[in-house]
Structure 1
């Protein structure tokens, strides 16, 4: 083989002493290929510098092995963990996951374009991990393959979802605060367009607080640096003993602002949040709700397997998974 020529599957087969069909099966799913042959194929491919064409192999296999994942803002630990768990679930399922990442607060346009890019890769199904783009816009993307919302709650009758139970999480936060004697809460809020998840969490906290006879004061989050400062001001001026943040990275900003003022969190004012996935939160002692990321990823992949295996359309399912409350020093007694 000439050094300037790109190696082919036939080259790998020749080097491994196996048939081209055996090499093809190894790179598709390894089915009906002995471990010894799989090792020979992969060693030959590595020696030749051969990289399989996953799009072509997915089309040839006709088994929808290649799936797409649109993930939002991978710098956010919640999305980063979801990405990792979806990759693990895909590997266990014998599938390949191709991902496209949008960025925070582009209000859906980048996400719809990402879906179209995934469709162009001929994926057999798509997972959408985003808190911004509406169900209507997702359906209007017209990808032509099964689509499933991940993470955020969804009630669209035409769109599957496997989600975190954010309403339950918001109610849980209110109950934990009430159990420690807090009767006046500040709840940082943002518009639905900024984050549907933030909005749902805040509304659930306020709903449950009202049911328990407490006061939950909505506080403008945006812009975040100013929002956390306003929340600390409101705590002093309005006698709010606990501030509820919509996500951990906002809570960390609030802790920094409190430290700069000399405000002792957990004593002068308590702070509680959502996600519970960033490294080191246990060292900080942040009270938060930990999302059930692994459970959502495993359920979503199993459901997509079921959809792709079944010839007849299945009834649309909306599955919810609840996380757990993680106590911390930032939530003290009122």
Structure 2
């Protein structure tokens, strides 16, 4: 018995994406040009494709809502991710439901948040947090497409569109070296506190070793004490630069430095990561800006493809194994700032 043509076959014959074919048959051609509409219907007729309304109902049973689990909306990185994802979802003709996990909870609230999203019968779920292990995400979300957004991920069963934090760590190390720094304090945090922080700093430390830069690790937590320890260590050990794993820590470091009459960058330089807070340009913080808008747009586009693929699974014979998950990395850019200067004169030589 010959195989029945699928939506993917129609897309290939018409020279369009599967998501476009899906919009033609499921949404009466919403947001599809007249020429494309004709091309898709002609390809479907030529192939003998008949859209399976029952399968379509199964794939779209959750309506047009997508879910986003976000962490600590007061953090500019997460706040921007929420806003950009919402914009991209709206452009796709869907609605976004979000749940925010506590900043200081180490995973329990995130899993509970995922379950709340699933209870809203969303069609797919984005996870934009930095704590819960991928293995726990797989066990929690089994009924709808799941995608990690923002944080790096290599789990073979979870799709991801992520910031290239490994590249960001190396970029910061190169920037430090370019300014002549050879002895650097680095604020570190446990993996459980933030997988993103851990990856950034590990990458930076590895690159510094390649460049011959000495690293002095200092515990970040609690932040208010960690930044003071970093300033004291820099003074005692003759370090000329302090690296913070995120901009809000760098701002706390600037406050602590001002309170202790430590001049930035005349006495010691500093950098952060994220580059998204309002007023950072006024402060002049040297940092790495995350490509939030691009990551959100590409994540929503890929989610549409995953939803179409889920429909194809209902229409055609079951595959022997699901295709491997795609992991896409998007690199941000360095933002020069006045907080990163040359090595102070008294530390040269």
TM over 0.5: yes
What are the superposed Cα offsets for residues 114-153 of structure 1, whole Å, 9 maximum, x if unpaired?
A: 1111111111100000000000111111441111011110
Name which structure has the greater RCO, CA cutoff 8 Å, separation 6+: 2
1:189 aligns with 2:198: no
- Aligned residue for 2:273, secondary structure, equals strand
Indicate the larger mover: 227-236 or 143-152.
143-152
Q: Is the 8 A contact 1:59 1:122 kept in 2?
A: no
Distance 1:172 1:61, change over 3 A: closer
Shift of 1:218: 1.1
- Aligned residue for 1:127, secondary structure, equals strand
User: Following the alignment from structure 1 to structure 2, what is the Cα–Cα distance between the partners of residues 261 and 30?
Assistant: 65
1:252-263 aligned within 5 A: 252-263=251-262
Which residue of the partner structure matches residue 88 of structure 2? 89
Count of aligned positions: 283
User: Following the alignment from structure 1 to structure 2, what is the Cα–Cα distance between the partners of residues 156 and 250?
Assistant: 29
User: Following the alignment from structure 1 to structure 2, what is the Cα–Cα distance between the partners of residues 142 and 327?
Assistant: 40
User: Following the alignment from structure 1 to structure 2, what is the Cα–Cα distance between the partners of residues 299 and 288?
Assistant: 24
Q: Is the 8 A contact 2:71 2:129 kept in 1?
A: yes
Indicate the larger mover: 66-75 or 304-313.
304-313
Q: Is the 8 A contact 1:126 1:145 kept in 2?
A: yes
Which residue of the partner structure matches residue 307 of structure 2? 308
User: Following the alignment from structure 1 to structure 2, what is the Cα–Cα distance between the partners of residues 316 and 82?
Assistant: 22
User: Following the alignment from structure 1 to structure 2, what is the Cα–Cα distance between the partners of residues 197 and 222?
Assistant: 15
* Gaps in structure 2 of 5+ consecutive residues: 1-25, 32-56, 314-321, 344-349
Distance 1:266 1:139, change over 3 A: same
- Aligned residue for 1:332, secondary structure, equals coil
Task: Provide TM-score, normalisation by structure 2.
Answer: 0.78
Task: Provide TM-score, normalisation by structure 1.
Answer: 0.81
1:324 aligns with 2:323: no
Shift of 1:62: 3.7
- Aligned residue for 1:192, secondary structure, equals coil
User: Following the alignment from structure 1 to structure 2, what is the Cα–Cα distance between the partners of residues 306 and 119?
Assistant: 20
User: Following the alignment from structure 1 to structure 2, what is the Cα–Cα distance between the partners of residues 140 and 61?
Assistant: 22
Which residue of the partner structure matches residue 218 of structure 2? 219
User: Following the alignment from structure 1 to structure 2, what is the Cα–Cα distance between the partners of residues 30 and 266?
Assistant: 60
Q: Is the 8 A contact 1:119 1:143 kept in 2?
A: no
Runs of 4+ with deviation above 4 angstroms: 28-33, 58-61
User: Following the alignment from structure 1 to structure 2, what is the Cα–Cα distance between the partners of residues 251 and 194?
Assistant: 17
* Gaps in structure 1 of 5+ consecutive residues: 1-27, 34-57
Distance 1:240 1:67, change over 3 A: same
Shift of 1:60: 11
Q: Is the 8 A contact 2:62 2:122 kept in 1?
A: no
| Alignment RMSD | 1.9
User: Following the alignment from structure 2 to structure 1, what is the Cα–Cα distance between the partners of residues 30 and 305?
Assistant: 22
Shift of 1:30: 9.4
User: Following the alignment from structure 2 to structure 1, what is the Cα–Cα distance between the partners of residues 194 and 215?
Assistant: 20
Which residue of the partner structure matches residue 176 of structure 1? 175
Which residue of the partner structure matches residue 19 of structure 1? none
Which residue of the partner structure matches residue 5 of structure 1? none
What are the superposed Cα offsets for residues 273-302 of structure 1, whole Å, 9 maximum, x if unpaired?
A: 100000000000000000000010011001
Q: Is the 8 A contact 1:265 1:271 kept in 2?
A: yes
Which residue of the partner structure matches residue 281 of structure 1? 280
What are the superposed Cα offsets for residues 57-84 of structure 1, whole Å, 9 maximum, x if unpaired?
A: x999647521100000000000000000
Which residue of the partner structure matches residue 10 of structure 2? none
